[in-house]
Structure 1
Amino acid sequence: LTIAEASPITPEMIMGNFGYNYYLAYLAIGILFYYIIKKSNAEYTLLAVWSVFVLAIMLAQNRFAYYYAVNVAILVGLLGSLVLDFSGWKRFDSNNVVECVKNTRIQHIISLVLVITVIGFLPSSASPYRNTMDAAPWGAVSGGYYEWYDALTWMKDNTPEPDLPYYSIYEKPPRGELYPYSGNDYGVMSWWDYGHIITYRAHRIPNANPFQAGIGGGAEQRPGASTFLIAPAEEEANDVLDKLGINGKPGARYVISNAYMAYSILTVFAEWAEMNYGYYTQVQTSSGLQVVPSQKYYDTMVAKLHIFDTNGLKNYRLVHESTPNPYTRGGNEETGYKNVYNVLYGGNLQIENSGYVKIFEYVKGATITGIAPADVTVTLTNTIVTNIGRTVSYSQTTTAVNGTYSFTVPYSTLGPIPEETQFDTKPAGPYTVTAGELSKQIDVSERYVLDGGTVTLDLV
């Protein structure tokens, strides 16, 4: 439905990937067939057949462009060598440099400059030289592979190991029946693109994977990755995970997001869920009309998790984040999206690059409740310190009804406990609860957060 890499390659993709060398490769293939017809040659036949085959599958699906890059390199190299041969470079058969210089003619210089210029520097906007120099200041622009490796290695080492063994052979259940998971098995919710790497690196069970299992959505709004990520409220996201549940537990214990999901492909989730409308709007600026994210965009669950770092959520907590990477798809849009939210929607987000990959845990949450003056506004605040040293503001607000208030909080202030998540992102201290002029602090244990326990703090 939205598999971009499976679509046919476009002229823009061709120019971005190969420049003029793509078209020179056609000329080289034609020359190969000429030589094959003129005089049978096994090496030329192999190169021609191989190149035509890879070219055909690349034209059908652009994902194969990186395979064809090898063929283009060989073909233009062959073409360049033929041009040099035609100009008489084969005559330089001496190892004596002085003698070679004496025998150099104008056609030798022109042919060499021509080959280097055409293959390496044209067109000026998409040549191999230009692409290399554009990437040089920060190295190759990546898909955040190192950050995924970091985050998933942490998950493997710091979250409870499921009973389902990683190295094993499983018997497929009968059609229509679920696999008999144990009570200690759990899922990891993320977009389907990342399902296999979650399995491979973290040794955990993804809710969705590149076999396109677990995506959900459609006209029936089936529970899955798409409906979870665009859920407009925490309660609706919880409902998705609960519907995916097994053995009386939610279908996922952890959620993983990255900047690409948060800033670049939200409409892809919406397309799968058949709800792709209203996530962007137009605003008038000094440069004319600009398309920007709408409030609906920032209300989605993936935004609440990745952009807002769980601020105000009751059942989700950030437990680990990778290093930032602003030189990735998505990562290069983070500060812009945060600035739009602050300017257009009255936000107060820190304009910074946060972790490219973030891991969240879905918990029952501990309840903080107590007595407070009737109808007074009660606020709860804390500062979350992440494993890379970022500080995140966490707050909730409610109104005391009939002289009582209640908050559900996802963060333990007393640290991790054995055999559970060994989180390295946590509150800087106790929660502060304020009613009017009175403020008090309270700690919450990890066991209460996991089991849904209750602590009492009266504000009178």
Structure 2
Amino acid sequence: MIGFTDHCAAEVLLSTTAMLFFILAVRSGQGKLTFASLRGGDLAALKRPLLYALFAGLFLGLYIDAWAAGHLFVGILLVFVTVQSIVDHLRGRNVEYLGIVGTVTLLITLLLVLPFVRVYNGFGSTYYSMFQPTMLIIGIVFMLFLSFISTLLVQRGMERRYFPLIVFGSIAIVFVILAVASPQFVSSLMGGLNIFQPRTGGAATISEASSILERYAIQRNFPGLISFLSPFWLTLLALPLILHRYYRDDRRNADMLIVVWTLMMLALTFAQNRFAYYYAVNVAFLSGYLVSFILEKTRFLEVEDTLIRMAKGSSKETLDQNRLLTNVAVIVILAMLFVYPAMFGTVQGVSIGSFHSERHVGPLSSDWYDSVAWLQDNTPDPGMDIYTIYEHPPEGEKFSYPDSAYGIMSWWDYGHWIETIGHRLPNANPFQQGIGSKETGIPGSSPFFLAQNEAEAEAVLAGLDENRSAYSNTRYVITDVEMAMGKFHAIAAWSNIYPGEYQFNHWQDGQPITIYRTPYFRTMVARLHFFDGSEAEVQEGWAMAFRSDGQGGISVEPQKRSRNYQELLDSVNESLGRGYAAAEVVSQSPVMTSAPLEALGHYRLVHESQSSVTSNDQKYVKIFEHVPGATITGKASPGTEVVISVPITTNRGRNFLYKQSTVADSDGVFALVVPYSTEGPATWSTNFDTGPLGPYTLIVGNVQYEVRVPEGAVIAGSSINI
């Protein structure tokens, strides 16, 4: 495929081109384009500004077609037209050109947006809905209103100062009317303004949605020799210079658009650094203006002209050596400030300049690519093609999925990979859909991976669609080491749970040590990724005691290290008895549980990637199948311990033991739900390449049995009586 298909690249190209043509339209229309010239058919006055306005509307429409929330730039134009109309009116200039240019631009934009409007989306500002055409129509009416009121006041000889009062008063009145007549539109409009506010909660963990003031984002996006010499800051010096030029020169009306555009994009970038790719355009032309302003003061063009004439053999030219040296020094300084960092800049010792751009964005990791590609070739067809356009269900109804359809649970970061490479339906995706929240009880990926036991996890999956089976709602679960470690804080944050509930850092011998608490090991993401869903005994635990350090902090004091869980619990109780504020059993490794873990009966490992990420050979990406499981039932004396186990070999040759235990109840009955088939895959089911080496071993008291489990029993949830 030739070209770059990321819609973000299209956003910048189309929005910038739209602004370019609007600037040209405003400049060429000033003092020429009026309603009278329209009525008189004055082609000399009409041709250029109207053509520019038409192209501005064309590119603005294409921009909104590329991004539904592109009405942001409609807001920028409306703010500019409002400010410039007030300035022009107060200075005694005709403002009709702004209304005409703005109307043509927004009218063309409206025509391009209308084919994509979906009425069923209501007034949703992030979807193609009634919001975009409504805003465009209001914008057209408002721009014409400004021109009409200005002309009317001039014709009646009224004082100019009344105009801004009428404008702001009209805005307030129209806002109240809209709030009453169309509260949905106003609600979406005000909600859209949240884009100027920093994200909180789970959204704050999205790297691109964090403020550009965090995580060295300014230096990463706009590298400078040192952080405060970043072009991000330096180019702001151009704004007062542009405003000064605007104040002194009545012909520089478009300068106000540059200022409004820059300030709005700057505010957005402060709130969310994802808008740095937009603001880069503003930084570019502000840098250009600042550099040209400086070189004008050093009379660079005169030196350049002299050097050119001397190179052509003119003997009449003399070169001012001081001026030459001054310009050379200035050019070197400007190059070091603006050019060198952009090419060779670093952040914390990492090269980020364009010269090293190949290091910035690497390809999808082979672990993930191979894993999601495996899905397409080895899992049942869900009966829904990603290239088919499906009809939206009637209002108030949910989409009716075919019986063959099923979801795949993973963290939202990976949803598009699952869909576009694996051709399967993710339960959560990078539009932040399907994340859910444990705090609010909304089912989704966050509450699932944080679930503290299998029953809680099953309830989450069942809640995704109460009209379908939980095994259809989610048939496969994909985990990776990032979810279990680096991204775990984000999974907790989306449920508004402080990550310290699961893990925290403790300084020991001057080094930060991550401490993993019992709730961490009980989460589904840890059970699946580090323990393969099997039963696990305590591998290494520490009894930690906590007390105030007398300086407003907490002193963490290790008390006992052991593999015996009861010994650790006894140490905790002893610490509490000695007056410690708190004590608990923890671990210093995410792969060595500090608390006993029960086996999962409805999740079986079916595939894993090639890269090892732990000393015990755990892999980077794992795929589990969510199955009803076969129920092994039998009878024994009440209280008899029952253990079932089977060795598993993965597609990468890793071996582990799946183990599950229980005790016979008061009636002597026991039941164990096991997820693995011992007879291999069936043609109609998952073509798994990870599975048992032989039959299960069932130990009931002192009696041992061999148990074989067919694939049909696992998928159907059948019982096998011993």
TM over 0.5: yes
2:650 maps to 385
Instruction: Answer yes or no: is the 8 Å Cα contact 2:219–2:347 preserved in 1.
Output: no
CA separation of 1:126 and 1:438: change in aligned 2, threshold 3 A: farther
* Partner secondary structure for residue 449 of structure 1: helix
CA distance in 2, matches of 1:444, 1:95: 93
Q: Distance in 2 between matches of 1:430 and 1:289?
A: 44
Q: Which amino acid aligns with 1:319?
A: V
TM-score scaled by length of structure 2: 0.49
Matches within 5 A, 1:216-235: 216-217=436-437, 219=439, 221-235=441-455
* Superposed CA offset, 1:37-67 (max 9, x none): 6665799777655444422322233321233
- Give the distance between the partners of 2:360 and 2:235, measured in 1 at CA: 25
> Aligned partner of 1:316: which letter?
Y
- After TM superposition, give the deviation of residue 114 of structure 1 in Å: 1.9
| 1:429 lines up with 2:693 in the alignment | yes
Contact 1:226 1:273 in 2 (8 A): yes
Query: How many residues are aligned here?
Result: 427
Equivalent runs, 1:130-169 vs 2, <5 Å: 130-132=349-351, 139-140=359-360, 149-164=369-384, 166=386, 167-169=388-390
Counterparts of 1:47 and 1:362, CA distance in 2: 55
Please name the residue that 1:252 is paired with. Answer: 474
Mapped pair 1:294 → 2:559:
no
Higher helix share: 2
Measure how far apart 1:440 and its partner are: 7.4
The alignment-based identity, stated in percent, is 33
Q: Is the 8 A contact 1:430 1:442 kept in 2?
A: no
Q: Residues 392, 222 of structure 1: CA spacing in aligned structure 2 closer, same or farther, 3 A cutoff?
A: farther
The structure 2 residue matched to 1:263, chosen from 477, 485, 493, is 485
Pair 1:116–1:220, CA change in 2 (3 A): closer
Which moves more between the two structures, 130-139 or 297-306? 130-139
Deviation of residue 3 (structure 1)?
0.9
Deviation by residue 1:387-426 (Cα, 9 ceiling, x = unmatched): xx26252321425749987643323344433343233x40
Q: Specify the alignment match of 1:22 in structure 2.
A: 232
Distance of aligned partners of 1:292 and 1:114 in 2 relative to their CA distance in 1, 3 Å threshold: farther
d(CA) in 2 for partners of 1:128, 1:41: 39
- Map 1:93-172; keep pairs closer than 5 Å: 93=308, 106-107=325-326, 109-119=328-338, 127=346, 130-132=349-351, 139-140=359-360, 149-164=369-384, 166=386, 167-172=388-393
Correspondence for 1:345: none
Counterpart of 2:657 in structure 1 is: 394
- Is 1:363 the equivalent of 2:616? no
3-state secondary structure, aligned to 1:179: coil
Deviation at 1:319, TM superposition (A): 3.0
Q: What residue number does 1:241 align with?
A: 461
Letter in 2 for 1:110: A
Is the 2:527–2:533 Cα contact (8 Å) retained in structure 1? yes
How far is the alpha carbon of 1:109 from its aligned partner? Answer: 4.7
Q: Distance in 2 between matches of 1:406 and 1:134?
A: 61
User: Displacement, 1:231?
Assistant: 0.4
CA distance in 2, matches of 1:30, 1:127: 30
Which shows bigger deviation, 250-259 or 391-400?
391-400
Q: Structure 1: state its 5+ residue gaps.
A: 325-333, 339-348
Is the alpha carbon distance of 1:172 and 1:194 closer, same or farther for their aligned partners in structure 2, counting shifts above 3 Å? farther
Please show how residues 274-293 of structure 1 align to structure 2 within 5 Å. Answer: 274-276=496-498, 278-281=501-504, 283=506, 285-287=508-510, 290-293=513-516
Partner of 2:304: 90
1:69 aligns with 2:271: no
Task: Decide which of 397, 403, 409 is 2:674's aligned counterpart.
Answer: 409
**CA offset at residue 232 of structure 1?**
0.6
Asked if residue 9 in structure 1 is aligned to residue 219 in structure 2, the reply is no
1:433, CA displacement in angstroms? 2.3
Please give the per-residue CA displacement for 1:347-396, whole angstroms capped at 9, x wherever unaligned.
xx6266x32x443221112345679999466351323323xx26252321
Q: Say which SS state the counterpart of residue 255 (structure 1) adopts.
A: strand
User: 1:249 Cα deviation (Å)?
Assistant: 1.4
Matched with 1:451 is 716
Alpha carbons of structure 1 residues 204 and 427: separation in structure 2 relative to 1, 3 Å: closer
Partner of 1:319: 606
| Secondary structure at 2:712 match in 1 | helix
> In structure 2, do the counterparts of structure 1 residues 139 and 288 end up closer, same or farther at CA, with 3 Å as the change threshold?
closer
- Equivalent pair of 2:484/2:525 in contact (CA under 8 Å): yes
**Cα displacement (A) at 1:140:** 2.7
Q: Secondary structure at the match of 2:334?
A: helix
Question: Is the CA contact 1:223–1:243 (under 8 Å) kept in the aligned structure 2?
Answer: yes
Residue 376 of structure 1 contacts residue 399 of structure 1 at CA under 8 Å; is this kept in 2? yes
Q: 2-side partners of 1:44 and 1:390: how far apart?
A: 66
Unaligned runs of 5+ in 2: 1-200, 535-598
Contact 1:367 1:407 (C-alpha < 8 Å) held by counterparts: yes
Higher mean C-alpha displacement, 292-301 vs 38-47: 38-47
Q: Is the 8 A contact 1:306 1:358 kept in 2?
A: yes
In the alignment, is the contact (CA less than 8 A) between 2:202 and 2:495 conserved in 1? no
RMSD: 4.6
Distance 1:218 1:46, change over 3 A: same
| Contact 2:696–2:708, Cα closer than 8 Å, also in 1 | no
- 1:273 match: 495
Distance change in 2, residues 1:17/1:42 (3 Å):
same
The Cα shift of 1:212 comes to: 5.1
Q: Which secondary structure state, in structure 2, belongs to the residue aligned with residue 2 of structure 1? A: helix
Cα drift, residue 162 of structure 1: 2.5
Q: Name which one, 1 or 2, has greater alpha-carbon Rg.
A: 2
Shift of 1:33: 4.5
Indicate if the aligned counterparts of 1:32 and 1:44 stay in contact, CA closer than 8 A: yes
1:329 paired residue number = none
Q: How big is the shift at 1:281? A: 4.0
